[in-house]
Amino acid sequence: MPAVVINEFLPAPRTIFTSEWIELFNPGDLSVQLGGWALDDIPNGGSKPFMIPDGTAIAPGSFLVFYNSTTRISLNNDGDTVRLLDPTGGVADEYSYGPAGYDASVGRSPDGGPGWQSFTAPTPGAPNGAPPAFGPAGNALLITQVFYFAYPGKNDEFVAVSNPPGNEDVDLYGWSITDDRSSVSFPPDTTLPSGATLYITGNGSDFLGDCGFLPGLETSGSSAGVRQAPASGGWPALGNTGGAVALRNPGDETVDAFAWGRAFNGSGWTGPPAQGLLDGEVARRARGPGGGWADTNTSGDWPLAGRTVVGRSDFPLAGFDAGKVRTFVSPDSSYSAISSELDGARSSIRLSMYQLESWPLAGRLVAARQRGVDVRVLLEGAPVGGVLDQERAIVRLLAESGASVACLAPNASARSDDRYSFLHAKYCLIDGRVSIVTSENWKPSGVPKDTSYGNRGWGAVVESAGLAGYLSAVFDADSATGQRDVIPYPDMSGVFGPPPGRVRAQHHRPRRRLQAAVRQIRVRRRARVGGALAGHLVACELLGPGAHRFCGEDAVRRTAVLHTLLGLRSREASERVPRGRRGCRPARRSGTPAPRRHLHR
């Protein structure tokens, strides 16, 4: 058998893995220097051979993984050959394979043996076919997250230390974290409870902007509420392209370690390092099906698929008991179901929505705010197709009523990646016990007041404090003040667009029906009315019972606000309406002049 063999490779990454890789294994008793060796695919074609750099060694019984990002060797999904060439150019080992499954590897069984098979659970840098052990040996503390490649201008690289559930609380005084050039010590009275995680960083304010919450300790900042930890060597001074960190107990023994990008031969780690990440990405330790941490002291504990963008949440799958569940569909009953719940809110409303363009539902949110209900709204700041004036005006209306409004949007000045592509969640939480989840945005086509038109959609009203608490934690994480992509009103105008001075109400009710509604109002009143009063009455038709409640005491002020929001014009403010535009006036016929029209005429 050759001194070093090809032991496992992955030709077709897709979801779990994002890069092809080739793993070598040393089955012998001596270390082997691999400088001058090469990796290749088919002879006389395919990819260019990758020359393994001088100084690269593989210890006896160890694994060494080479990723496509380094080798530039592209293996075909439908079959290819993998070759290991010795310094003379001779073939030290090779294997040809047929069509490969996505995220499945081909490897020897056992390691270094003559047999080959496909593995649906690849193990780069670890024994083939052996799932990682979950749950720390000896119930030790573990390093569970490392952020070593911060965005430019940020000093918030961090290390997270976790105390697995079932352990006793641990006094961290005398413990330390070290890397190649620097170290940090835990100050007195630092206790890590069972099941808890402690984050230690450079600057707590920078950490807050990227993560949305304050760390437990900082070394160089002066953030209120964050304790200082003594450090040396400018900690954190973690290498962007390679390095290692070690967690040491008061006896200066290494309890855990993490290595990335380059070889590490210290205690607490075995085999090749974890693959390096890009700026803004966080390395995370894998969890098993039961929630325990993987702990084999190898790169297999830190899969590339486990990485995340800094600040992104990590909510687990969860189940809850529900007292009552009521379902509805659009357009049949969505408006009545949602509006009745909003009208019944007594203490709080949390709304996460991709698009909010429904005036009637906006009116009910404002009415709830005037009852003293705490209303918080989070919207997508850059929806596909842009933001309509109607939504901008609704945002202004909510903000002026005292509601907290913010949007989630890319922040160009932050020079960082988005946490999420879009805020596409559509849910509303009421009084910490009721959750409304919908497939449709709150807009005239998604939740129509008039059930004779609209999209086919569905939703559910779930009475469950557990579900409401879970979604409330998601809402708080998404809307955390200080997050780089959370922009509150009125600052959101720069991304969301400035609120218009006035806006014409957009609706999906056919124009003839709206005209009929205005005529019915005139008949019911049995008298001519001024444009202001007619505008107020039309607003009542559109907004429902919430219209009177949110407009204040003064009738003149009520109608002025409604004129601005709904685009209705009094005698003095009347203007031409372009043909075909939706609004409260009929379109003129082609070829005829556009007369000035007033509701009282």
CATH code for position 80: 2.60.40.1260
pLDDT at residue 2, as a whole number: 65
Structure confidence at residue 130 as a pLDDT band (50, 70, 90): low
Would you call 453 exposed, middle or buried from its count of C-beta atoms within 10 A (0-12, 13-18, 19+)? middle
Name residue 463's beta-bridge partners: 324, 434
Q: Is residue 130 part of a domain?
A: no
HEC string of 311-353 equals: CCCCCCCCCCCCCEEEEEEECCCHHHHHHHHHHCCCCEEEEEE
Same domain, 270 and 330: no
pLDDT confidence band for 546 (50 / 70 / 90)? very low
Q: Which uninterrupted H or E stretch holds 210?
A: helix 204-211
Q: What confidence score (pLDDT) does residue 378 get?
A: 97
- Taking the model in full, what pTM does it have? 0.63
Read off the pLDDT band of 597 (50, 70, 90): very low
In a domain, 572, yes or no: yes
Q: In terms of domains, do 578 and 519 share one? A: yes
Shared-domain flag, residues 464 and 569: no
State which of 496, 518, 541 marks the end of a domain. 496
Burial of 294 (0-12, 13-18, 19+ CB in 10 A): buried
Q: What is the mean pLDDT of residues 336-355?
A: 97
The pLDDT, as a whole number, for residue 207 is 93
**Lowest-confidence region among 273-287, 324-338, 431-445, 552-566:** 552-566
Pair 111, 242 in one domain: no
The pLDDT assigned to 263 comes to 83
Per-residue pLDDT for 134 more than 80?
A: no
What per-residue confidence (pLDDT) applies to 588? Answer: 36
pLDDT digits (tens, 9 = 90+) for 565-578: 444 443 333 333 33
Q: 530 with 445, same domain?
A: no
| Weakest-pLDDT range from 342-346, 412-416, 502-506, 583-587 | 583-587
Residues 346 and 471 in one domain: yes
- Same structural domain, 481 and 567: no
115 shares its domain with 218: no
Task: Give yes or no for residue 590 having a pLDDT over 80.
Answer: no
Range of the domain at 564: 510-601
Is the pLDDT assigned to residue 329 strictly greater than 70?
yes
Determine, yes or no, domain membership for 392: yes
Q: What is the pLDDT of residue 572?
A: 35
pLDDT tens figures, 31-70: 999 999 999 998 887 888 999 999 898 989 889 989 888 8
d(CA 505, CA 390): 7
- Taking residues 220-245, report their average pLDDT: 90
Where is the domain boundary, 469, 496, 523? 496
Where residue 243 falls (left for φ over 0; alpha for ψ -120 to 50; beta otherwise) is: left
DSSP state of 388: -
Q: Is the pLDDT of residue 415 over 60?
A: yes
Q: 309, 338, 370: which is the final residue of a domain?
A: 309
Closest by CA to 340, choosing from 428, 275, 425, 417, is 428
CA atoms within 13 A on the CB side of 558: 18
With H, G, I as helix, E, B as strand and everything else as coil, classify residue 119. Answer: strand
Round the average pLDDT of the chain to a whole number and report it.
Answer: 81
Query: Among 306-315, 425-434, 488-497, whose mean pLDDT is lowest?
Result: 488-497
For the residues 206-232, what does the mean pLDDT come to?
Answer: 90
pLDDT at 40: 93
What's the number of domains the chain is made of?
Answer: 4
Percent of the chain exceeding pLDDT 70 equals 78
Q: Domain for residue 576, yes or no?
A: yes
Do 341 and 239 have their domain in common?
no
Q: How confident is the model at residue 272 (pLDDT cuts 50, 70, 90)?
A: confident
Q: Which CATH number is 477's domain given?
A: 3.30.870.10
Look at residue 485 and tell me whether its pLDDT is greater than 60. Answer: yes
Per-residue pLDDT at 174 exceeds 60: yes
CB 349 within 8 A of CB 342: yes
pLDDT of residue 598: 34
* pLDDT at residue 412, as a whole number: 66
Domain-located, residue 387: yes
Tokens of 266: 């210290």
Residue-wise pLDDT for 92-126, tens only, equals 999 999 998 888 899 998 999 999 998 887 888 88
Same domain, 541 and 481: no
Of 234, 236, 237, 226, nearest in space to 204 by CA: 226
**Most confidently modeled of 125-139, 405-419, 583-597?**
405-419
Q: Which of 396, 340, 378, 336 is nearest to 472 (CA)?
A: 378
First CA to last CA distance, the chain: 99
Confirm whether 360 is domain-assigned.
yes
Higher pLDDT, 521 or 240: 240
Measured in degrees and rounded to the nearest 5, phi and psi for residue 467 equal -65, -45
Residue 293 within any structural domain of the chain: yes
Check whether residue 115 and residue 144 sit in a common domain: no
**Other CB atoms within 10 Å distance of the CB of residue 115:** 8
Percent of the chain at pLDDT > 90 equals: 47
Q: Are residues 112 and 256 in the same domain?
A: no
For 426-444, write each residue's pLDDT tens digit. Answer: 999 999 999 999 999 999 9
Here the tokens at position 456 are: 């086919």
512-542, pLDDT tens digit by residue? 444 444 444 444 443 333 444 444 444 444 4
**Residue 399 pLDDT:** 92
Contact 365, 351 (CB under 8 A): yes
Residue 315 belongs to a domain: no
Tokens of 202: 């450079």
Does residue 360 have a cis peptide bond before it, meaning omega lies within 30 degrees of 0? no
